[in-house]
Amino acid sequence: MYRSVTVSALSDRSRPRTFLVGLFDDDQAVSGDHQGLDHRLGGALAEAIKRPELRRKLGQIHMLYPSGSVDRIIIAGLGERKSANLESLRIAAGQGLRAAHAASCEALAAAFPDIEGKPTLEDRATAIGEGIGMASLDFDEFLGKGRAEPGKSKASATVKVSVDRPMLSGVRRGLTLAASANYARRLAATPPNIASPAFFAAEARKLARKHQFKCSVMDEARLKRLGMGGILGVGKGSRNRPVLICLEYRPAGGRASDPVLLVGKTVTFDTGGYSLKISGAMAGMKYDKCGGMAVLGAMDAIGSLKPKVPVVALLPTVENMIGPDAFRVDDVLTMNNGVTVEVTNTDAEGRLILSDALAYGCRKYKPRAVVDLATLTGGVVVALGDHCAGLFCADDLLRERLVDAAELSGERLWQLPLWPEHRELMKGTHSDLVNSGARRAHPIQGAAFLSFFVGDEAPKRMPELPWAHIDIAGVAALDKARHHLPIGPTGFGVRLLAQLIDNWPSRSGKRSKS
């Protein structure tokens, strides 16, 4: 169920019955941010801070029931003041929203203190809106009679949130970003018997109508004419035929200019092909489309935010199955840019479909920069765990843009190396490349392989075109709830990409936000 959230300005005449208040764990008294509010609440916050059992660790929730005109106060812990950041606001606001919904609150007033590090008021308010919005989604769309609760409907509920007027635009922006992330999360959670390549082609067309994007869907016949050997090879084993989806955003009234190219791996289900995954490793492979869903979600946000830079999104969309026509180990595929690839592992399929999309997109659209997202390797999970994605980017300015966007969105990145020596790992004997080499430098191999398809000179040397590969295999989905996010897809990358694009025109060579 998705609980829609509306936001309005809190005025002197407002008489909210529920307050959501963020408090630091190490504050010994009510801070200046909350003194006026505490007076309005009859000193309830000052009393709560004095009580040792009411700890305010990050994400911790307490309910107070004061007498008078207020029904309840939801205290959301922000942890220690010195370590608080935008993500702290996101978590506390999200936890507070979930507590309010559990208490059947239909309206609440939210108040959060300033944090150190000097993020702007707009950034703080955006983070609060993101937290509230991201917490409003539960993955219960496919629950049936076996789990239905008597008297409860799946119909969406609305929660009305009031904030101080200076916070209003930022919170609205955060809710917009969260709604797009939730759109991606719902699509990622959709099971593979529904979410086929044709399903996503239809979804892209709906998104294009919503935002007046240009949309094209390249079917199997056109993919053959374009020499998309990677997409065709991976998709051969499925009755759900592969497609390449393209969405184009052009700013209204803007001069024609080179776009930013976004590419998202969209494998609707991955059996591993004939390099078959063991049964335990196959569960959750509907999430192998999360890179593409992040790009779709980002395009939804871009359509709402209307940034000044043009964007083209490509989603190579396949199902990797076993069948009489499925591709095999030892097959040699010819890719869109003429590079040949010997298949050494049919479970290294994501790089094959991404490579065709990258080569095609670079040649056709002449982008100013390229960013691809993919659940590409298990190796990045081993290397980095599930709290950050792996970033491969040799271009200093693009990397700084992404780091800035990551700090604003809370979707953390960690750079891994990619050197010409790593490309040697992918050289073939009977073909130009192999799609999977030895186990050494495993997460880097995926990026090294992709580097042969970015720009005209890529087969011969490292790409000169600004390009970033982001491996989201560890962060695309949660196997246990984390703060306000339930088990399931996280929508990682939606807000990161939207922030990247929206801030692009104002970005100089120096870091501009903390």
Residues carrying an active site annotation: 277, 351
Q: Find out whether 480 and 486 touch, Cβ atoms under 8 Å.
A: no
Q: Which helix or strand (DSSP H or E) is residue 380 part of?
A: helix 378-384
Cα 362 to Cα 372: distance, rounded to the nearest angstrom: 12
Residue 35: how many other CB atoms lie within 10 Å: 13
CB-CB contact of 220 with 232 (8 Å): yes
DSSP designation for 460: T
- Helices vs strands, H then E, count in the chain: 16, 20
Residues found in the chain:
514
Strands (DSSP E) along 389-432, which ranges? 389-393, 413-415
Please answer whether residues 261 and 310 qualify as being in contact, where contact means their C-beta atoms are separated by less than 8 angstroms.
no
Cβ neighbours of residue 473 closer than 8 Å, sequence gap 6 or more = 374, 375, 376, 377, 378, 380, 381
- Do the beta carbons of residue 436 and residue 345 sit within 8 Å? yes
User: Of 132, 58, 125, 140, which is closest to residue 101 (Cα–Cα)?
Assistant: 132
Contacts of 459 (CB under 8 A, 6+ apart): 337, 338, 339, 432, 452, 453
Exposure class string for 167-201: b at 16+ Cβ within 10 A, else e: bbebbbbbbbbbbbbbbbbbbbbbebeebbbebbb
**Helix, coil or strand: residue 159:** strand
